[in-house]
C-alpha cells in the first residue's frame, strides 16, 4: 500500500471536509446549487534518488593493477621484454605503494600473490622457450612432407596431364634435360592434385628469393632451372629442418655446409641465411656437376643421397644413366630414386604455373638495413626499440640460432627493418653496454673445469663449451670469463613491508653467494629483507641486478633513479629474500 505524501494528505483532508458538509445539508429544489469546486492536481513529487554506493578503493586498485598486468602480457607476446617488465613492475608497485600496503589488506594480498604466481609462470616459460639461449623453433622441411605422401600414394598420370606436359615441354626451352617419362608425369599429377596447395604456397614464398638465386646462378654459369630445387627441398622456408637435420632453403647437412664455406656454431647457422646458403649451393652443385661429367640427373641424385652413394651405385651396376639406375631398387634408396623426377616435375610447373591452374600470391621480400654491432645484443631489445614484434627481427636474421647475436664476435651485421637503422644506432650509443644482452658471466677460479662449473651452475657442459667457443675438454685458466648459457631473471622482485635496511658489503662476482639468515615469518612466502649495497668501481645496475637476482627496473624503482647512472660509493636499497654477499678472491 502506498502512503500519501504531506501535500496529498492535506488535499485529502480538505476533500473530506467538503464531502462531509455535502452529506449533512441536502439542498432543496429551490436552493441555488453551490458553485463547482475546482481541484488542482498536486505537483509531481521527484523520486528520492537511490543511495550511491561508495567507491571501494581496494577494487579500484586491483582494477588498475590488472590493467598494467594485461599490458605486460601483450608486450611479452611481442617479445618486448623491457616494456613487459615495466608493466609487470607497475602492476605490483601500485599495490605496494597504496596506503593499505600490498601485503596487509586481505584482498590486496590475495591479488598480489596471484599476480606474483602468474608472473613467475611467465618467467618459467621464458626460461624454457625464450631465454636467449634456447634454439629457435624450426619448420618441417618440404621434402619430408612430400615423402610422407609419396611413400604411400603416387597417382598414375592421366592422359590430360601427359598431353599438357608434352605441349609445355615443346613450348618452353629448359636448360636442364626433362624427359617425358611416367615417373616425371606421375609427380606432375601429384603436384597438380593432392600437393597443389603445398606447391602454390612454396611458389608464392619463393618469389622473394628467386631473383637473388637466379642472379647468383647466372653469375656462376649454372642452369636457372635449378633455382627451383628449394621448392621441393624446403618450400623456400629458411628455417626448415628435416628429420636428418638438414637445414635451410637448400637443406644442407652440417658437414656439407662447412665444406662449402658456411659458418655453424652455437650462435649462428648460415644454412638458414638464404643468400649465403645459395652461394654455397652454387659451389656444391658445380662440384657435383664436374664429378659426374656434366650429368645433371646424377648430380641431383648425389645432392640428395650423397656423391659417395651414387658413385658406389654406378660402380656396382655398371650403369651411368640415372634412369637405368633408378629402374630397380637394388642400387639407390627410394628417396633418391624419387628425388630427381620430383625436382624435374616441380621445375615444369614452376616455369609455367598458370597452365597447370596454379594461382601465385607473391610474398613480398622484407626490406632491411644493416647495423654493425660491436657487442652482443638481445633481439627482443632491438624489437622494442623499433616498435615491432621480435619475430620480424628473427625473420630478417634467420641465421641467428638464438635470441642474441654472437657474444664473442668482434662485429656482427644485424639486419633491421628499413628506416630503423638510425634509431637502433642511436639507442646503441645511449644504452648501458651491460644491458644490451641479458647474459650471466662466471669468472673461473683456480682448479675449476668446464665439468665442475657446469655441475655447479646446472648447465650442460657441451652448451657451456660451445657458448664460449671451446672444446668440451678445454683447459681453463683462473680469471677467464665464461658466458653461462642460462636465462637471466626476467621479472620484477617483490617488495612487501620489511624492517629497516642493513648495510651489506658485496662484490659483483655472483659465483659464491652467502645467505644472511633472517627471522622466520609466517605465511607461505619468505619476507624480503631490504639491504643497502654500496656501489664499487666497475659496478653497473645490470651487474648488481644479476648479483641479487632482480631486475634493473626494480632497482630503479626502489631507489627512485631516473637513469642507469650510478656513482662509486652510492648506496642502493635492494629488497631480497636473502641478503646476499659474495666471497672475495
Q: Which of 50, 48, 43 is nearest to 7 (CA)?
A: 43
170 is catalytic: no
C-beta pairs of 415-420 under 8 Å, 24+ apart in sequence: 415/368, 415/369, 415/370, 416/368, 416/369, 416/370, 416/371, 416/382, 416/386, 417/366, 417/367, 417/368, 417/369, 417/386, 417/388, 417/392, 418/367, 418/368, 418/369, 419/369, 420/369, 420/385, 420/386
- CA dist 564 and 182 (Å) reads 70
Q: How far apart are CA 44 and CA 42, in angstroms?
A: 6
Catalytic residue among 75, 189, 233, 435: 233
Cβ neighbors of 416 (< 8 A, separation 6 or more) are 368, 369, 370, 371, 382, 386, 393, 396, 424
Q: What is the DSSP secondary-structure string of 182-238?
A: HHHHHHHHHHHTTTHHHHHHHHHHHTTTHHHHHHHHHHHT--GGGGGHHHHHTTT-T
Tell me 442's DSSP state: E
Where are the alpha helices (H) located in 25-56, listed in sequence order?
A: none
Cell numbers found for residue 51: 543511495
Where do the H-state alpha helices sit in 494-581? 541-547, 552-558
**Active-site amino acid positions:** 233
Amino acid at each position: 500500500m502506498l502512503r500519501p505524501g504531506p501535500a496529498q494528505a492535506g488535499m485529502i483532508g480538505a476533500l473530506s471536509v467538503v464531502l462531509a458538509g455535502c452529506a449533512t445539508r441536502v439542498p432543496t429544489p429551490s436552493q441555488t446549487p453551490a458553485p463547482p469546486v475546482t481541484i488542482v492536481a498536486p505537483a509531481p513529487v521527484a523520486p528520492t534518488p537511490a543511495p550511491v554506493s561508495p567507491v571501494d578503493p581496494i577494487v579500484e586498485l586491483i582494477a588498475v593493477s590488472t590493467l598494467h598486468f594485461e599490458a605486460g602480457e601483450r608486450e611479452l607476446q611481442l617479445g618486448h621484454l623491457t616494456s613487459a617488465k615495466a608493466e609487470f613492475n607497475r602492476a605490483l608497485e601500485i599495490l605496494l605503494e597504496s596506503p593499505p600496503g600490498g601485503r596487509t589488506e586481505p584482498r590486496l594480498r590475495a591479488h598480489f600473490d596471484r599476480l606474483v604466481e602468474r608472473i613467475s609462470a611467465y618467467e618459467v616459460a621464458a626460461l624454457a622457450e625464450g631465454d636467449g639461449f634456447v634454439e629457435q623453433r624450426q619448420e618441417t622441411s618440404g621434402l619430408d612432407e612430400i615423402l610422407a605422401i609419396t611413400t604411400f600414394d603416387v597417382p598414375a598420370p592421366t592422359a590430360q596431364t601427359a598431353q599438357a606436359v608434352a605441349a609445355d615441354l615443346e613450348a618452353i626451352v629448359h636448360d636442364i634435360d626433362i624427359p617425358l617419362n611416367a615417373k616425371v608425369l606421375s609427380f606432375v599429377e601429384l603436384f597438380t592434385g593432392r600437393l597443389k596447395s603445398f606447391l602454390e604456397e612454396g611458389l608464392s614464398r619463393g618469389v622473394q628469393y628467386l631473383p637473388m638465386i637466379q642472379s647468383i646462378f647466372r653469375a656462376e654459369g649454372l642452369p636457372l632451372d635449378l633455382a627451383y630445387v628449394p621448392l621441393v627441398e624446403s618450400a623456400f622456408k629458411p628455417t626448415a629442418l628435416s628429420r636428418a637435420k638438414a637445414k635451410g632453403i637448400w637443406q644442407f647437412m652440417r658437414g656439407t655446409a662447412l665444406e662449402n664455406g658456411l659458418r655453424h656454431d652455437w650462435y649462428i647457422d648460415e644454412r638458414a641465411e638464404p643468400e649465403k646458403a645459395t652461394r654455397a649451393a652454387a659451389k656444391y652443385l658445380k662440384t657435383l656437376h664436374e664429378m659426374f661429367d656434366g650429368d645433371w640427373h646424377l648430380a641431383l641424385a648425389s645432392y640428395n643421397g650423397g656423391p659417395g652413394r651414387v658413385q658406389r651405385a654406378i660402380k656396382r651396376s655398371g650403369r651411368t644413366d640415372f634412369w637405368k639406375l633408378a629402374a630397380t631398387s637394388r642400387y639407390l634408396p627410394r628417396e633418391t630414386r624419387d628425388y630427381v623426377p620430383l625436382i624435374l616435375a616441380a621445375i615444369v610447373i614452376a616455369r609455367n604455373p598458370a597452365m597447370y591452374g596454379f594461382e601465385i600470391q607473391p610474398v613480398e621480400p622484407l626490406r632491411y638495413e644493416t647495423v654493425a654491432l660491436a657487442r652482443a645484443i638481445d633481439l627482443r631489445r632491438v624489437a622494442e626499440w623499433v616498435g615491432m614484434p621480435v619475430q620480424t627481427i628473427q625473420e630478417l636474421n634467420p641465421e641467428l640460432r638464438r635470441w642474441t647475436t654472437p657474444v664473442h664476435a668482434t662485429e656482427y651485421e644485424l639486419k633491421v627493418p628499413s628506416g630503423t637503422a638510425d634509431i637502433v644506432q642511436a639507442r646503441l650509443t645511449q644504452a648501458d653496454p651491460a644491458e644490451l644482452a641479458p647474459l650471466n658471466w662466471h669468472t673461473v677460479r683456480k682448479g675449476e673445469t668446464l665439468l665442475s662449473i657446469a655441475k655447479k651452475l646446472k648447465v650442460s657442459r657441451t652448451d657451456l663449451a660451445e657458448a664460449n667457443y671451446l672444446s668440451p675438454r678445454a683447459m681453463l685458466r683462473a680469471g677467464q670469463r665464461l658466458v653461462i648459457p642460462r636465462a637471466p631473471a626476467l621479472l620484477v622482485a617483490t617488495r612487501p613491508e620489511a624492517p629497516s635496511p642493513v648495510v651489506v658489503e658485496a662484490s659483483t662476482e655472483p659465483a659464491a653467494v652467502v645467505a644472511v639468515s633472517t627471522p622466520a615469518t609466517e605465511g607461505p612466502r619468505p619476507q624480503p629483507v631490504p639491504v643497502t649495497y654500496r656501489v664499487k668501481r666497475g659496478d653497473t645496475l645490470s651487474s648488481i641486478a644479476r648479483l641479487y637476482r632482480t631486475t634493473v627496473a626494480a632497482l630503479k624503482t626502489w631507489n627512485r633513479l631516473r637513469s642507469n647512472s650510478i656513482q662509486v660509493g652510492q648506496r642502493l636499497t635492494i629488497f631480497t629474500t636473502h641478503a646476499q654477499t659474495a666471497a672475495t678472491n
